[in-house]
Amino acid sequence: MPKAGRTGAEKERGVAVGAMLNSLDLEGSPQTTRVVVAMSGGVDSSVTAALLKAEGYDVIGVTLQLYDHGAATHRKGACCAGQDIHDARAVAERIGIPHYVLDYEHRFKEAVIDDFADSYLAGETPVPCVQCNQLIKFRDLLTTAQELGAKVLATGHYVASRTLPAGGRALHRARDPERDQSYFLFATTREQLNVLRFPLGERSKVETRELARQFGLAVADKHDSQDICFVPTGRYTEVIERLRPGAAEPGDIVDLNGKVLGRHEGIIRFTVGQRRGLGVSAGHPLYVVRLDAQTRNVVVGPREALRTSRMRLRDVNWIGEGSIEQALCAGWHEVFVRVRSTRPPHPAWLSRGAHGIEVDLIAGEDGVSPGQACVFYDAHDGQARVLGGGIIQKAASLSEPAPAYEAASAGRL
C-alpha cells in the first residue's frame, strides 16, 4: 500500500530516518498518532485521508462549512457545497474514519469574504485563498485539530514540507510544477509548519487519481474546483455589490496623461492588465495600468506601460533561514519571486525601503497588481524552498530610477 510519508528521494536528500520516528516525522507508532485531515470533498484531501488511514494512523476527517452558496450568489443551489460535504462524508465512511462538519461560516465571512470585498474597493485584486489558508485552515482549524488531540493537521495541498537539520521544517514547491500550490501558502508561519503535513507534495495529480481508484473512492474522477469558492459563478462583482451596496460608483477612464477617454461603472469591474471590456478605444490596444480608488479613475495605457520593476509589500512573512533582518544585513538579498500563481519565479532583489520591504524585479514583469501575493523562493526551478512573501501594496514602472545597489550589483544574477 502506498505511504504518505518519506519517499526514496527524500532519503537521498539526507532526511534522517530515525527508528523512533514514523512517516510523518513524529515519535510513536501510527496507531498512537492522531491526525486530523481537512477534507474538502475533493480527490486530493480524500486521498490524503485514505493514505494516512492505510498506514494505520488514528485519522479524523473534518470538513468546514464556510459559506452559503445561495446567499453568495442569490441563486439557490448555485454550486455544490452540499455535494462536497456529502462526498467528504462518503469517503470517510468508505475508509472507516470519523467525520465532522464544522460551521466556520461567520469566521470565514469576517476573515476572508469581507476582506475580499474591501480589497476590490481599494483598487486591488485580492487572493482570498491566501487569507483562507492563513486565517481559517492554518489558524482556526489547526486549533480545532489540537483540541481534538491531533499531533498534526494534514491537507491535500500540493506542496512539500521537509525537516531542517537544526530542527523545524521548511516549505518547498511540489514535485509536480503544474500542481504546485506554494504561492498560496507563503503566509504559513514556522510554528504552523511544525504541525502541518502535506502527503501529496511528492506526488503528481495523475498518481493521486490512481490512488483514489485503488482505494475505491467515488471522487477519483471528480473535477477540480476552478473558481473562488464563494464566487462559483465567476461574477465576483455581484458578491461585492451585495456585501457593499453602492460599491460600484462610476468614474472616469483616463490615459497616462490624465486625459478622459470615457466613463466606467465602478473600479471593482477592472483589474490591472485587463484589455477587454474597457469600452474605450484609442487606435491601439489599451490595458488597465492602474486603479485609483480615491479618484475612482481607471488609468489605461499601452502594453509597455504594464511593465513593473519595483514593488512595495505589506504583511510580509519570512520563513527562510534566520530572520528577514539577518537576510537583509547586506542591504539586499537575492531571491526569486512569483507575482502570480500561474507564473514561474523570476530573479529579484529584496530590500528594506523607507516604507517597508521592497522587491526589485531584475527583468521586470507585466501586469503586477496590488493585492496579489509576491512569494519568495531560493531558486527559479525544481522544488525550490519557499522563503516567505507578502502582499503587493504598490507597484512602480520601469521608467522610475533603480536603487543604487541594483546598478552596483548588475550581472550578479
Q: Which residues are catalytic?
A: 132, 229
What are the strands of the beta sheet with 287-292, ordered from one edge?
260-264, 251-254, 297-301, 287-292
What are the strands of the beta sheet with 99-103, ordered from one edge?
99-103, 58-65, 34-38, 152-154, 196-197
State the Cα–Cα distance between residues 141 and 334, nearest whole angstrom: 34
The separation between the first and the last C-alpha atoms of the chain, rounded to the nearest angstrom, is 45
Dihedral (Cα; 174, 179, 180, 184), 10-degree rounding: -140
State the Cα–Cα distance between residues 336 and 137, nearest whole angstrom: 27
Pairing mode, strands 373-377 and 386-397: antiparallel
Could you tell me the sign of the dihedral formed by the alpha carbons of 146, 149, 153, 156, in that order? Answer: negative
SS3 string, 317-356, reads: EECCCCCHHHHCCCCEEEEEEECCCCCCCEEEEEEEECCE
